[in-house]
Structure 1
Amino acid sequence: MSDGSEFRVDLHVKVLDDRVLERARRADLDAIVYAPHFTRLPEIRARAAAYSSEDLLVVPAREVFTGSWRDRKHVLAVGLEEPVPDFISLDAAMAEFDRQDAAVLVPHPEFLNVSLTEADLRTYRESVDAIEIFNPKHLPSHNRRARDLADEFDLPPFTSSYAHLPGSVGISYTAFEDGIESAADLVDALKEGTPRRVVYRNGLRRLRTTAAELVHLGYENSWQKADRLFLSGTEPTHPRHIAYDGKFDDVAVY
């Protein structure tokens, strides 16, 4: 736990197990936001609750993959009350986040073909609560571009480890002014633009983290992608899955 003068959060983690908790504690974090790929909100909530404790809050969230595989735009929503599927239009996702009054975060802006662009930010500026200005997967030029976008649109910043591997947790985090005690408090802090520091490490560990995560990214977007598309059948977060009861059929891209 931190010393109480601020609340330290790794705002985007993809994995959750005992190793993740240990890394978070060693990084002196107060909370992590757990948002795994292709996992429905009830399952995320249950797993977050199981791993949450008095000394480390685990907050459930969804990084929704809007659009198609060729042009997918990721948006991180914290504070959802109802499930939102992947593979719906960006406009439909933003409308649903607004309806549920969730905190809307922009991870890794303009990174490859998986991110919101400058034009998207201009369109949805009033719906966005924060933009990621440092991501360990980024090259320095990507992070500079992200900072420029935050300045251009006057958006509060955040950072995260974007950890797909347990060892990455805590390599960067967002430190809010003290006063956050729950997931609801964190959502409020994000939506209200509560003052915060963006904290990250450079040096050898950061370089090792970047290299390991980029290797994992290549794997995730090749063999795992092929498995999902051609072998596994319908994803549990596909908008036409029975769990969504047809609610998103008219905005599905597949």
Structure 2
Amino acid sequence: MLNCDLHIHTNHSRDGESSVEEILLQAEKVGLDAIAITDHDTMDGAWYAAKIKSRVLVIPGIEVSTAQGHLLVLGGTSVIPPSLDVIETIRLANAQGAVTILPHPFHIWRHAVGLKVKSALEAVDAIEVFNSRYIVGQANRKAARGARRVHKPAVGGSDAHHARYVGFGRTTIDAERTVESILEAIRAGKTVPGGRMTPLRTYTRQSIKSTWRRVRRHVHR
């Protein structure tokens, strides 16, 4: 059984705060076997992490900004462009042999695909039912109910934007310690999600910083 965090951002994301090296060190410290680096619309952080010697296995990933919200793609071989229809994005990911996961699918402030495209719940390989960056757990519980309704595997992730929160969300996976085995185990539902919540003060601070960055980008255009 492997302890994995399947949703992590580095400073290769526009809102990530920690370097790849800091992420890997924290993952080792908290006893993770594998992590997926899923920066927004880039795989640069994941590809860089794969070159660093670490006892933690790195699953290459990306959080794609589709036209209807966010989609995690694990094990892909190339970057899928943002702003495409989510079903088309899932199709492109499948063509790469990647695993698709709907993250925070019902959170009203978090680019939630599940609130806009119900068919996406059935089209993906798995659903994130524990995301540690929720103010309240209602959206997590709704995601868990949705996963059960469409008979999809359930996973958890920290959605960490700072190294200190790596491992707050986890998925225990019955797999060998290889990327291929982990991806296949996710598809087969050999997963148990869980974890603890990111402190509210941190979530609020990060949200304010992200909003301020967007305002500054808009002003300087």
Interval of TM-score (by shorter of Structure 1 and Structure 2):
0.7 to 0.9
**Residue 212 of structure 1 pairs with residue 208 of structure 2:** no
Does the 8 Å CA contact 1:157/1:198 hold for their aligned counterparts? Answer: yes
Is 1:61 aligned to 2:56, yes or no? no
Contact 2:173 2:182 in 1 (8 A): no
- Give the TM-score normalised by the residue count of structure 1: 0.75
RMSD: 2.1
User: Pick from 3, 6, 31: which aligns with 1:8?
Assistant: 3
Aligned to 2:15: none
Q: Are 1:131 and 2:132 counterparts? A: no
Task: Give the letter aligned to residue 211 of structure 1.
Answer: R
Quick one: distance in 1 between partners of 2:24 and 2:46? 16
1:212 partner letter = T
Q: Post-superposition shift, 1:192? A: 2.5
Residue 219 of structure 1 deviates from its aligned partner by 1.9
User: How many residue pairs end up in the alignment?
Assistant: 211
Give the gaps of 5 or more residues in structure 2: 11-18
Give the partner amino acid of 1:51: I
Matched, 1:81 2:77: yes
* Corresponding residue number in structure 2 for 1:101: 97
The residue number in structure 2 matching 1:51 is 52
Look up the match of 1:110.
106
Contact 2:185 2:191 survives alignment (8 Å)? no
Identity %: 25
Structure 1: distance between partners of 2:217 and 2:181: 36
Query: In the alignment, which residue of structure 2 is the partner of 1:160?
Result: 157
Q: Which residue of 1 aligns with 2:195?
A: 200
Q: Which moved more, 1:87-96 or 1:151-160?
A: 87-96
The C-alpha deviation readout for 1:128-161, integer Å capped at 9, x for no partner, is 1111111112212112211111121111110011
Give yes or no for contact 1:133–1:157 (8 Å, CA) kept in 2: yes
Q: Are 1:225 and 2:221 an aligned pair?
A: no
How far the C-alpha of 1:187 sits from its partner, in A, is 1.7
Output the amino acid matched with 1:13.
I
C-alpha distance in 2 between matches for 1:38 and 1:229: 19
Letter in 2 for 1:47: Y
Matches within 5 A, 1:22-37: 22-37=25-40
1:141 to 129, 138, 144: 138
Equivalent-residue separation in structure 2 for 1:45 and 1:199 (angstroms): 23
Determine if contact 2:153/2:187 at 8 Å carries over to the other structure.
no
**In structure 2, do the counterparts of structure 1 residues 21 and 83 end up closer, same or farther at CA, with 3 Å as the change threshold?**
closer
CA contact (8 A) 1:137 1:214 kept: no
Contact 1:52 1:58 in 2 (8 A): no
Deviation by residue 1:150-185 (Cα, 9 ceiling, x = unmatched): 1211111100110011111011210112x3222222
Return the match for 2:21 from 4, 13, 18. Answer: 18
Cα deviations across residues 186-214 of structure 1 (Å, max 9, x unaligned)? 22222232x2222313xxxx452x43023
Q: 1: CA distance between counterparts of 2:215 and 2:87? A: 27
Distance 2:24 2:50 in 1: 13
